[in-house]
């Protein structure tokens, strides 16, 4: 039995016919849309490499069935930058060397953006580590990641203050 779903992916509406209701969002993104920035790490929801935002909230896309998210708004790492202008989190990761091999970086960035939208951590390093604990970095770039998240949070807070003034 086929299942028809619609998703808005990185701002563009996409319609799909799924012949298997067990297709995950991760596999749909990678195999059908060729958005390979979202990584397949453990495929068990333990490493965070597959983190995306669904309706503004971060999730492990390897655990999410696509049919369960019909109508959802999905943001992947490919949709974060605005043309040539990097998102503040992306720029901060570069400035603070928040990556080494780069495999976990897309998931780390998506988790950081989601965490900021959820207003979870502020600039407290321990709270940032706790909120980002679902994203593993096998290279050990955690110090750079925390510094990058703190800087991006500060920049985004300053930008929001200027807009509301």
- Token pair in block for residue 53: 């935002």
pLDDT digits (tens, 9 = 90+) for 57-102: 999 999 999 999 999 999 999 999 999 999 999 999 999 999 889 9
CB 24 within 8 A of CB 63: yes
- How many CB atoms lie under 10 A from the CB of residue 98? 27
Average pLDDT taken over every residue of the chain: 93
Residue 58 phi, psi (nearest 5): -80, 140
Q: 73 and 94: one domain?
A: no
Average of per-residue pLDDT across 120-139: 87
pLDDT band at 129 (very low <50, low <70, confident <90, very high): very high
- Average pLDDT over every residue of 130-156: 91
Statement to judge: residues 67 and 100 lie in one domain = no
Q: How confident is the model at residue 163 (pLDDT cuts 50, 70, 90)?
A: confident
CATH number of 19's domain? 3.10.20.30
Q: Judge whether residue 121 has pLDDT over 70.
A: no
In this prediction, residues 8-13 reach a mean pLDDT of 98
Same domain for 43 and 67, yes or no, is yes
Secondary structure letter of residue 32 according to DSSP: I
- Domain that includes residue 8, residue range: 3-79
Question: Which residues fall within 8 angstroms of residue 46, CB to CB, at 6 or more apart?
Answer: 136
pLDDT at position 4 = 97
The total of structural domains in the chain comes to 2
Give yes or no for a contact between 2 and 19, defined as CB atoms under 8 angstroms apart.
yes
Question: Which of 123 and 15 is assigned the larger pLDDT?
Answer: 15
Confidence tier at 122 by pLDDT (50, 70, 90): confident
Is 165 within a domain? no
CATH number for the domain that contains residue 120: 1.10.150.120
pLDDT at 156 over 90: no
In the chain, the percentage of residues whose pLDDT exceeds 90 is: 79
């Amino acid at each position: 039995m086929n299942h028809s779903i619609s998703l808005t992916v990185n701002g563009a509406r996409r319609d799909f016919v799924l012949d298997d209701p067990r297709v995950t969002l991760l596999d749909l993104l990678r195999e059908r849309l060729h958005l390979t920035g979202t990584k397949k790490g453990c495929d068990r929801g333990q490493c965070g490499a597959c983190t995306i935002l669904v309706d503004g909230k971060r999730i492990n896309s390897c655990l999410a069935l696509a049919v369960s998210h019909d109508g959802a708004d999905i943001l992947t790492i490919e949709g974060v930058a605005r043309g040539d202008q990097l998102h503040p989190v992306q720029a901060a990761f570069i400035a603070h060397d928040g990556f080494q091999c780069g495999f976990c970086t897309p998931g780390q960035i998506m988790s950081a953006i989601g965490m900021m939208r959820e207003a979870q951590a502020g600039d407290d390093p321990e709270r940032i580590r706790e909120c980002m604990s679902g994203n593993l970095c096998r290279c050990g770039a955690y110090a750079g990641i925390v510094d990058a998240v703190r800087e991006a949070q500060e920049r985004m807070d300053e930008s929001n203050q200027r807009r509301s003034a």
